Structure 1
Amino acid sequence: MNRLLERLAPFAFGVLALGLWQGSVWALAVPAYVVPGPIAIFNAYLSDYAILNPALLSTLTVTITALLAATLLGVFLAVAMAASALFRAAIQPWAVILQVTPVVAIAPLIIIWVNQPFVALVVCATIVAFFPILSNTAAGLAATPPELLDLFRLNGATRWQTLFLLRLPSALPNFLTGLRISGTLALVGAVVAEFVAGSGGFASGLAYRIIEASYRLEIPRMFAALVLLGVSGIVIYAALGFLEHFLLRKRNAA
């Protein structure tokens, strides 16, 4: 019973918050161009879904592509760092520098250099998303139980056999944690890149629709786009959480 209540609590809180929001808008007679209520936002989505849905699909395409690229890049670098201390010493500081550099500051340069809008957006989102996968996978590879490493050595396992048969499977929980974080960061990176590209005239994605709505003072439509982004982030996080639960449960069962 308590578990059921815990699952229902977020939905109950959301319904309560939406009700208070709508009630406040009605009671205070707040104009929709200042703060629209949930009903106005929903009506705006119904009016413009033919525009917002393709824009959402464009943003999600960039997000998923960037997440795949970040996964490949992060795992490759983590394995290379685990295999070579010299490579780790050479790469790790630059990875940290790239992570702490605001993508909004380098996105215009990337868009100019790449000169392919979709590829440029993917590159920007990948830069934002790859570091959690890199750091978590590298931490998982470094945390392999020493007794298991000794067991593999005693049985004559090669360096690569130890890496692929022991260290990578042991790092799976850490990798999945990083993947879950990177999923939402890829969406953030895609939106930031689309804001920069949209300011330059590249019309694609929900971020551009938000900019367009703000210029036209179509605030309910802007909120509708924001809600779509928020829901997308929740769905991505939940889907990756389900993947994590499924893979770890299957691994523990084996």
Structure 2
Amino acid sequence: MSTPFPIASATPVAPPRSARSAQPTRAPAPHRAAARRIPLMAQPRVQRVVYPLLVGLVLIALWQGLVTGLELPPYLVPSPLLMMKTLFTDWAALGASLWVTVKITVLAFGVATVAGVLISFLFVQSKRIETALFPYAVLLQVTPIVAVAPLIIIWVKDPMASMVVCAALVALFPIISNTTLGLRSVEPDLQSYFKLNRATRLQTLVRLRIPSALPYFFGGLRISSGLALIGAVVAEFVAGTGGTGAGLAYQILQAGFQLNIPRMFAALLLISLTGVALFVLMAWLTRLALGSWHASENSQD
């Protein structure tokens, strides 16, 4: 029986070559990397360097303009140009003193880091131990180092070792506090999972508590690096050592006695730059350790 209407074939029929050639060709899509390219000044890393430099240049220009316009004498406020000139002319003495201060700071920072981490590991083993000993760590923080430094200098015969001890005491508490807080800040579900799998105390410490405490630990390092420098300068002031073993604090005292204010400002500039360098180094170490997995270093805001 024949159907009244022809049935269309389900197979599509290709258009002729002339029709296919008349169809417009689609332009190739641009490369995704080129489309997402960020301008240089819009990059966060460049902004973190350029913006503070611009503010610093504006402040230095304002300082230079005020000193020149008001004709302030150098023994009151030296100009930035005179300070930089003094820094270059007196670099032989200032550079040697800078090395002494940096050496004390680094040694004290290392001692404070090792001691702070070991004390934090002791605190996290038992809540009773932390409750019994943590007030004494707070006592070290609130005691003025200026009042304790003379006793330490008397008890420790070596001047360098005594100044290292003084600076380490100043830098110790932030590492203890931050690391202990990080070791305690463990997610309860993960801690229950480790207990469920019968993990030992050492396994829980190495595989759970230490990774959780790393952001807090590096935050404590950023604070303690600057405090170690402050403690080193304060210890140098109290010790009053001169000669070849003199630090920048002695150069400041000597410049103050001689009313050599440009040299005093040059020494203060070196101390400030050292503190900034330590902070930048700790920030770089933090990004190196946490940049691949922690949200605090991967945030785009």
Would the TM-score normalized by the shorter structure come out above 0.5? yes
Corresponding letter in the other structure for 1:191: V
Q: Which amino acid aligns with 2:77?
A: V
Q: How far off is 1:9 after superposition?
A: 1.7
- Flag the structure with higher helix content: 1
RMSD, aligned α-carbons: 1.5
Write the distance in 2 (CA, Å) between the matches of 1:6 and 1:182.
22
User: How far is the alpha carbon of 1:201 from its aligned partner?
Assistant: 5.5
Which of 53, 58, 66 matches 1:11? 53
Establish whether residue 54 from structure 1 lines up as the match of residue 96 from structure 2.
yes
Matched, 1:215 2:245: no
Could you tell me which residue of structure 1 aligns to residue 279 of structure 2?
A: 237
Q: How does 1:1-254 map to 2 (within 5 A)?
A: 1-2=41-42, 3=44, 4-5=46-47, 7-198=49-240, 204-252=246-294
Give unpaired runs (5+ residues) of structure 2.
1-40, 296-301
Q: Distance in 2 between matches of 1:119 and 1:138?
A: 27
Separation in 2, partners of 1:125, 1:250 = 33
Q: Deviations over 1:72-111 (max 9, x none)?
A: 1111111100002222122100110110111011111111
- Separation in 1, partners of 2:87, 2:139: 40
Deviation readout 1:200-250 (Å, 9 max, x if unpaired): 657511001100110111110010000000000001001101110110014
Task: Point out the more displaced range, 160-169 or 91-100.
Answer: 160-169
- Write the distance in 2 (CA, Å) between the matches of 1:235 and 1:7: 13
Instruction: Read off the aligned partner of 1:69 and give its amino acid letter.
Output: V
The letter for the 1-side match of 2:283 is G
Alpha-carbon shift at residue 5 of structure 1 (Å): 4.7
> What residue identity is the alignment partner of 1:119?
A
CA distance, structure 1, for counterparts of residue 76 and residue 294 of structure 2: 52
Identity of aligned pairs, percent?
A: 47
Aligned letter for 1:210? I
Cα separation, 2, equivalents of 1:75 and 1:164: 13
Q: Aligned residues, how many?
A: 252
Write out per-residue CA displacement over residues 30-63 of structure 1, whole angstroms, 9 at most, x where no aligned residue.
1111110001101111111000011101101110
Cα distance in 1 for residues equivalent to 2:227 and 2:48: 27
| Structure 1, gaps ≥5 residues long | none
Q: What is the alpha-carbon distance in structure 1 between the residues aligned to residue 63 and residue 199 of structure 2? A: 63
AA aligned opposite 1:212: Q
Report the Cα distance in structure 2 between the residues aligned to 1:104 and 1:197, rounded to whole angstroms: 10
Deviates more, 1:182-191 or 1:24-33: 24-33
CA distance in structure 2 between the partners assigned to 1:115 and 1:7 by the alignment: 44
Q: Which of the pair has more CA radius of gyration?
A: 2
